[in-house]
């Protein structure tokens, strides 16, 4: 006879994929589809306005910086359960609208302003969304829930550029960017769907807005964030992986075909991350997130060894391993923070995690770029 103490475990296993989890995963999928359309078309639009490549680099650098700052600010805002719902809805809607308005730009500075605004809204919603997901699933299935959300996000990164390709051929660049608002706004609807089906949280005293650093850097959570920081400061942006493949393959295939192959390998990277996310979360629920974090770090390390060479098969394997690594790492990081953070500081913890991820990626990519330029690409990855 099953005791009451034993009863909740099988129930949580049966019900982790609740309507709320599906809603949040759907929001990640739809939002990525929406903002990947203008992202994919941004280089062509900037070039059509007569701006140099440096302008695109400046726009993306400023936008990513704004997103990182917004993630840190969004953490304390998301500590309050009611406030995090509003931020999540507003963040998805604002990202969609601001990104789609890029289609109307006639000057590069206008693109920069809208891109920074859209990425700030995107950054602001991240801690709120992650904290909301922790509200609606039992702790013993955090891994599977966050794995599902990461899988949907990576799937959107595959579908978005493909949709952009179809839309450009049918209606042109600017109209394609305008239409990107539709999946973006549907993402906001999906978040509303998730919130409506989330369990009600009892009345709480009003939460004061504060940035509480000390509780986040102590104990197991603090050690986790240090470990995440160590990984992220060696985790270069995927754009450098694409550049490595393009440069390495150009002598054999020509620039155009090498570029297409590089983008195809990037799709394989996202597909690998999509496939591994839920199994990685399931493993983390059963064995703990530390093992999954170590697997992700090992896969990334091995991937970089393959990027030292210029052999096409080795580069392809490197992309797949890097995708598997990031799928494991992101899933386990989110599940671990949800488990270790105090409930009243969960938003701040996710904001701190997101800020570390952004800062680490910027620093790692900058250092790799310097080594790449002054020594060699192989040295950068070695």
**What mean pLDDT is predicted for residues 275-281?**
96
Confidence grade of residue 234 (pLDDT, cut at 50, 70, 90):
confident
**What mean pLDDT is predicted for residues 92-110?**
94
4 pLDDT higher than 50:
no
**What mean pLDDT is predicted for residues 328-335?**
95
Confidence grade of residue 107 (pLDDT, cut at 50, 70, 90):
very high
Check residue 238 and give its pLDDT. 83
Q: Cβ distance 158 to 327 under 8 Å?
A: no
Lowest mean pLDDT among 72-76, 144-148, 223-227, 365-369: 365-369
Residues 6+ apart with CB under 8 A from 122: 31, 35, 67, 70, 91, 95
Backbone angles phi, psi at 17, to 5 degrees: -85, 70
Lowest mean pLDDT among 52-66, 75-89, 184-198, 204-218: 204-218
Q: What is the pLDDT of residues 341-370, one digit of tens each?
A: 888 888 889 998 988 888 888 788 888 888
C-alpha–C-alpha distance, residues 196 and 168, integer Å: 36
Percent of the chain having pLDDT more than 90? 47
Count of other CB atoms within 10 angstroms of residue 281: 30
Residue in the block written with tokens 């970089």: 304
Q: Where are the alpha helices (DSSP H) in 212-311?
A: 219-232, 238-253, 255-287, 289-306
What letter would DSSP give residue 197? T
Check residue 7 and give its pLDDT. 40
Backbone angles phi, psi at 235, to 5 degrees: -105, 95
Check residue 11 and give its pLDDT. 44
Q: How far is CA 290 from the centre of its chain?
A: 20
Lowest mean pLDDT among 18-22, 289-293, 374-378: 374-378
Confidence grade of residue 302 (pLDDT, cut at 50, 70, 90):
very high
283 pLDDT higher than 70:
yes
Q: Cβ distance 326 to 275 under 8 Å?
A: no
The first and second tokens of residue 170, run together, are 């049918």
C-alpha–C-alpha distance, residues 273 and 154, integer Å: 7
The DSSP element (H or E) to which 61 belongs, if any, is helix 53-77
Residues 6+ apart with CB under 8 A from 282: 143, 144, 147
At how many degrees (to 10) do helices 219-232 and 312-340 cross?
160
The secondary structure of 250-277 as a DSSP string is HHHH-HHHHHHHHHHHHHHHHHHHHHHH
Q: How far is CA 29 from the centre of its chain?
A: 11
Percent of the chain having pLDDT more than 70? 92
Check residue 185 and give its pLDDT. 97
Highest mean pLDDT: which of 50-54, 158-162, 302-306? 302-306
C-alpha–C-alpha distance, residues 271 and 367, integer Å: 27
Check residue 114 and give its pLDDT. 95
Check residue 338 and give its pLDDT. 92
E-only strand ranges, the chain:
none
CA atoms within 13 A on the CB side of 249: 24
10 pLDDT higher than 60:
no
**What mean pLDDT is predicted for residues 237-253?**
86
Confidence grade of residue 8 (pLDDT, cut at 50, 70, 90):
very low
Q: What domains are defined for the chain?
A: 17-198+211-381 (1.20.1250.20)
Highest mean pLDDT: which of 238-242, 293-297, 351-355? 293-297
**What mean pLDDT is predicted for residues 181-196?**
95
Q: Cβ distance 189 to 63 under 8 Å?
A: no
The DSSP element (H or E) to which 129 belongs, if any, is helix 108-136
Check residue 200 and give its pLDDT. 61
Residue predicted with more confidence, 129 or 219: 129
Q: What is the pLDDT of residues 126-178, one digit of tens each?
A: 999 999 999 888 999 999 999 999 999 999 989 998 898 889 888 988 999 99
Q: What is the pLDDT of residues 256-275, one digit of tens each?
A: 888 888 888 988 999 999 99
What letter would DSSP give residue 2? -
Instruction: Round the average pLDDT of the chain to a whole number and report it.
Output: 87
Indicate the pTM of the whole model: 0.85
- Most distant pair of Cα atoms in the chain: their distance: 75
Residue in the block written with tokens 């719902």: 85
246 pLDDT higher than 90:
no
**What mean pLDDT is predicted for residues 304-330?**
94
Check residue 12 and give its pLDDT. 43
């Amino acid at each position: 006879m099953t005791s009451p103490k034993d009863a909740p475990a099988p129930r949580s296993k049966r019900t982790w994929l609740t309507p709320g989890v599906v809603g949040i995963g759907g929001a990640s999928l739809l939002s990525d589809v929406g903002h990947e359309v203008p992202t994919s078309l941004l280089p062509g639009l900037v070039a059509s306005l007569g701006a140099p490549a440096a302008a695109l680099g400046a726009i993306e650098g400023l936008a990513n910086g704004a997103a990182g700052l917004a993630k840190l600010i969004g953490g304390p805002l998301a500590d309050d359960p009611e406030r995090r719902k509003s931020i999540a809805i507003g963040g998805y809607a604002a990202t969609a609208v601001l990104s789609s308005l890029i289609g109307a730009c006639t000057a590069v500075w206008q693109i920069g302003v809208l891109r920074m605004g859209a990425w700030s809204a995107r950054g602001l919603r991240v801690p709120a969304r992650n904290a909301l997901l922790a509200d609606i699933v039992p702790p013993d299935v955090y891994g599977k829930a966050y794995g599902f959300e990461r899988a949907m996000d990576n799937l959107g990164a595959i579908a978005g550029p493909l949709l952009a390709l179809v839309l450009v051929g049918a209606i042109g660049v600017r109209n394609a960017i305008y239409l990107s608002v539709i999946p973006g706004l549907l993402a906001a609807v999906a978040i509303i769907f998730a919130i409506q089906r989330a369990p009600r949280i009892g009345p709480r005293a009003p939460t004061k807005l504060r940035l509480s650093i000390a509780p986040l850097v102590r104990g197991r959570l603090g050690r986790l964030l240090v470990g995440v920081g160590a990984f992220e400061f060696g985790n270069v942006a995927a754009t450098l992986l694409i550049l490595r493949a393009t440069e390495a393959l150009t002598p054999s295939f020509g620039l155009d075909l090498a570029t297409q192959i590089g983008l195809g390998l990037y799709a394989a990277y996202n597909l690998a991350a999509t496939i591994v996310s839920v199994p990685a979360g399931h493993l983390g629920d059963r064995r703990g997130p530390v093992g999954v974090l170590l697997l992700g770090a090992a896969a990334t390390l091995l991937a970089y060894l393959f990027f030292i060479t210029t052999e096409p098969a080795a580069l392809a394997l490197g992309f797949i391993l890097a995708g598997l690594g990031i799928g494991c790492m992101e899933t386990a990081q989110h599940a671990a923070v949800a488990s270790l953070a105090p409930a009243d500081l969960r938003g701040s913890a996710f904001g701190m995690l997101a800020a570390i991820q952004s800062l680490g990626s910027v620093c790692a990519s900058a250092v790799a770029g310097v080594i790449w330029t002054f020594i060699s690409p192989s040295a950068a990855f070695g």
